[in-house]
Amino acid sequence: MSPFPTDPDPRDPGSVEFADILAAAERISTYVHRTPVLTSERMDALSGARVFFKCENLQRIGAFKARGAHNAVFSLEARAKAGVLTHSSGNHGAAVALAARNRGIPAHVVMPEGVSAPKLASVERLGARITICEPTLAGREAAAARLQRDTGATLIHPYNDPLVIAGQGTAALELLEQEPGLDAILTPVGGGGLLSGTVIAAKGRSPGTRVFGTEPAGADDAYRSFKSGKLTAMADPHTIADGLRASLGPIPFAIIRKGVEDIATVPDESIVAAMRLVWEVMKIVIEPSSAVPVAALLDHRLPLSGKRVGVILTGGNVDLGALPWMGA
């Protein structure tokens, strides 16, 4: 059993329903942006699909994670007094720090050695107390468990939490309100909070919309778990998409295996190429994790030719001094 439980009062994964996403949308509306949807004729031509980009890179803290964190933090009652804690490679940590600041409670964030400098700076700027740990999932979980014992803070897991999943699903809910009748929605998948939330939102708002996951080939535990039907952890992921190095969580997996159409994988070279293309063509900043579904479309890894496809661009937090194409 993991030393980092999801919640002192865990719920059955089946309890994450469309009504929870609707409730989350109302709960967080004051604290998050309703992000725009952009299109590009050139991206359409290159992908062979009509693509609608949901720009969560323009969200508070530069990532969709603001949604799940605010839903979880603002759902707490008496337990909120001791503060909240999480472990994160960056975006979720900043999101929890922001949500805690908005609620006026302390936040503790465990971050791995070697974390992206801008993401570390963002968490610090938002006032969270940071603990650096070994750059492994076990190291993160152990450090977070110690903090929880020492502080009494409530755990906000990055993805294996029904309240976080419901919050993340509000991005797809908005997308389907802005562009009704999409044939498909693509998201990246790391821990699975966004993909599972997207499944629930799509089934509730637009049952004919298929949902696909996309994943780096060097961190393909979700792909392997989906294909085998058995949750399979990745011990040592290697990918430029640092936000997708987490292993798929059991609660998201239970939702994904029932509702996702398929999961495609792409190599890092395609991720970098897609990231650069979005910067050059669409004039917006996205991070490598955001580029994964774009790469899957450009590499034609999914049967979406001629379809109306939504893509959730998950974040835009990058180290501008160390872009992956520098020196190329």
Query: pLDDT for 239-248, tens place per residue?
Result: 999 889 888 9
What is the band of 327 on the pLDDT scale with cuts at 50, 70, 90?
low
In which residue ranges of the chain is CATH 3.40.50.1100 found? 13-63+161-313, 66-155
CATH class of 13-63+161-313: alpha beta
The token duo for 13 is 């994964």
pLDDT reading at 102 higher than 60: yes
SS3 label, residue 85 = strand
pLDDT band at 328, cuts 50/70/90? Answer: low
Query: Which of 3.50.30.20, 3.65.10.10, 1.10.274.100, 3.40.50.1100 would CATH assign to domain 66-155?
Result: 3.40.50.1100
Q: Any idea what DSSP says for residue 37? A: E
Do residues 38 and 266 lie in contact, with contact meaning Cβ atoms separated by under 8 Å?
no
Average pLDDT for 60-77? 95
Mean per-residue pLDDT for 73-85?
A: 88
Tell me the mean pLDDT in the region 47-69.
97
Q: What is the pLDDT of residue 190?
A: 94
Contact 109, 131 (CB under 8 A): yes
User: Residue 236 — pLDDT band, cuts 50, 70, 90?
Assistant: confident
What backbone phi and psi angles, to 5 degrees, belong to 242?
-60, -25
- Predicted TM-score (pTM) of the model is 0.92
pLDDT at 51 exceeding the cut of 90? yes
**How high is the pLDDT of residue 1?**
31
Q: What's the rounded Cα separation, in Å, for the pair 101 and 94? A: 10
| Residue burial 269-283, b: 16+ Cβ < 10 Å; e: rest | ebbbbbbbbbbeebe
Mean pLDDT score of the chain:
92
Selected residue with higher pLDDT from 118 and 184: 184
Residue with the bigger pLDDT between 10 and 184: it is 184
* The pLDDT value given to residue 3: 33
| Both tokens assigned to 295 | 């790469």
